[in-house]
Amino acid sequence: MSEEMEAATRGVEYAEIEIMGHRRRIGRISEEERYGVKFLRVDFWDEETDTERTELYTGPSLFSVSPVTEAYVLADIARRKQMREYYESARSKRLAMLAAPVPDDADDSNPHEGDENSFGEEEGPDAEVVTSGWLHMDGDEDD
């Protein structure tokens, strides 16, 4: 074990914790006893509330505990804040684009004028309409 890790185990400890393989916390850890049971106490920075939070976990709920340095914890906090600012900025830009007015076309009286269908025939309100008789349920045509 490196000298840095040994120093960390003697005083304040920092670790990256995986809980039940689903959640991850990076922060200061310590052992705490409550209700006659030993808990792992994790003090970490919550990026959603922008405050420090504390959670307690029992041994069976831990998937892994990886010792880290205080510098690692601080770098992780800075990285998460930077990511949050980036995504909030990108989100506000997208919302601004959605709220922006769409330019109105000058001549939109007949938007389909001059369109052709897949058979090369003109479509639209000015196109020639071909009608034929309707078939009845008995198969006779209506004249």
Question: Does the pLDDT of residue 119 top 80, yes or no?
Answer: no
Mean pLDDT over 50-66 rounds to: 89
More confident residue, 108 or 64: 64
User: Whole-angstrom Cα distance, residue 69 to residue 8?
Assistant: 7
Is the pTM of the predicted complex or chain greater than 0.85?
no
Q: Please tell me which residue, 99 or 82, carries the higher pLDDT value.
A: 82
In DSSP notation, the chain reads --HHHHHHHHS-EEEEEEETTTEEEEEEEEEEEETTEEEEEEEEEETTTTEEEEEEE-GGGEEEEEEE-HHHHHHHHHHHHHHHHHHHHHHHHHHHHHHSPPPPPS--S-TTTT-B-TTS-B-STTSPPP--PPBPTTSPBP-
88 in Cβ contact with 94 (< 8 Å): no
Residue 28 has pLDDT above 90, yes or no: yes
What integer pLDDT is reported at residue 12 of this predicted model? 79
Per-residue confidence band for 91, with pLDDT thresholds at 50, 70 and 90: confident
Query: What is the average pLDDT score of the chain?
Result: 76
Percent of the chain exceeding pLDDT 70 equals 64
Residues 56, 71, 45, 26, CA torsion sign? negative
In which band, very low, low, confident or very high, does the pLDDT at 97 lie, cut at 50, 70 and 90?
Answer: confident
Please state, as a whole number, how many other Cβ atoms lie within 10 Å of the Cβ of residue 29.
Answer: 22
**Mean pLDDT across the stretch 60-64?**
89
pLDDT of residue 9: 53
Reply yes or no on whether the pLDDT at 45 is more than 70: yes
Check residue 29 and give its pLDDT.
93
Strands 13-19 and 23-34, sheet pairing: antiparallel
Q: Where are the domains of the chain?
A: 3-99
